[in-house]
Amino acid sequence: MKGKFITLEGIEGSGKSTSLEDIANVLDKNSINYILTKEPGSGSLGNDLRSLLLNNDNKISGEVELLLMMADRKNHLDSLVIPNLNNGNWVISDRYLDSTYAYQGGGREMDFALIDGLSNSLNFPAPDLTILFDLPVEIALERAKQRANLDRFEKEPIHFHDRIRNTYRFRAGEDSKRIKIVDSSVGFQEVKDQVVNIISQFLNE
Ligand code: TYD
């Protein structure tokens, strides 16, 4: 694979999606070809899976939720991510595999070994760089609530989100070379500065 694979991660309301534009600007300045994408929900199958997963009316077990996320990921990788990386394009994905460890492993308390097993058997590639947008759950949920409708995940109680944040932070501690933490409790401009620094440093490696 010739392109670089960068993923953005964080709890609800962590501000990662708004940083996509800042990353795109740095890549533009460096004349790098890239695509911006997200999980769950790429392409028409992904869109359908996303609706199933986020719809509040659906009662979905932890196992089924995990398998649907993995199905969405496999489809995303095969149809979009891998072909682009092979063509030399960079791929910037809003959420990827760390979300599954954090949400299904941490949040839903599913067995981490099951996630390892599925992701190894399906040959999911590791990202080259992951930016984790981190802030206290209370602040993040306040921000998320400003948006109109809360989805199936956003409606979960605070301990669910605490477990997600803790899992993310634990993973970042275990793999600090790949996962860089941005403190997103600070102001808009400061978050942007941190993101631009991380991407610039990555470009210089
Ligand atoms: P989305 O509206 O894209 O949320 P956000 O803007 O916070 O990224 O919804 C995606 C939801 O799916 C989000 O709550 C996290 C969840 N999710 C998982 O539980 N596991 C996963 O593997 C992925 C990719 C997402």
CA–CA gap between residue 21 and residue 151 (Å, rounded): 24
Cα of 111 vs centre of ligand 1, distance in Å, is 19
Q: What residue numbers bound the domain in which 118 lies?
A: 5-204
Q: How many domains, the chain?
A: 1
| Ligand 1 lined by 118 (C-beta under 6 Å) | no
How sure is the predictor about 149, in pLDDT bands with cuts at 50, 70 and 90? confident
Mean pLDDT score, 112-137 = 98
Helical residues (DSSP H) of 100-176, grouped into ranges: 112-121, 137-145, 158-174
Of all protein residues, whose CA lies closest to atom 13 belonging to ligand 1? 153
Counting every residue written for the chain, the total comes to 205
pLDDT at 143: 86
Give 152's contacts (C-beta < 8 A, 6+ positions apart).
Answer: 53, 54, 55, 56, 58, 60
Whether 180 contacts 187, CB under 8 Å: no
Cα of 204 vs centre of ligand 1, distance in Å, is 31
CATH at 97: 3.40.50.300
Mean pLDDT score, 11-33 = 94
Cα of 52 vs centre of ligand 1, distance in Å, is 12
How sure is the predictor about 25, in pLDDT bands with cuts at 50, 70 and 90? very high
For residue range 152-181, what is the model confidence (pLDDT) as tens digits? Answer: 999 999 999 999 999 999 999 999 999 999
Whether 129 contacts 178, CB under 8 Å: yes
| Ligand 1 lined by 17 (C-beta under 6 Å) | yes
| Ligand 1 lined by 101 (C-beta under 6 Å) | no
| Ligand 1 lined by 185 (C-beta under 6 Å) | no
How sure is the predictor about 1, in pLDDT bands with cuts at 50, 70 and 90? low
CA–CA gap between residue 35 and residue 91 (Å, rounded): 5
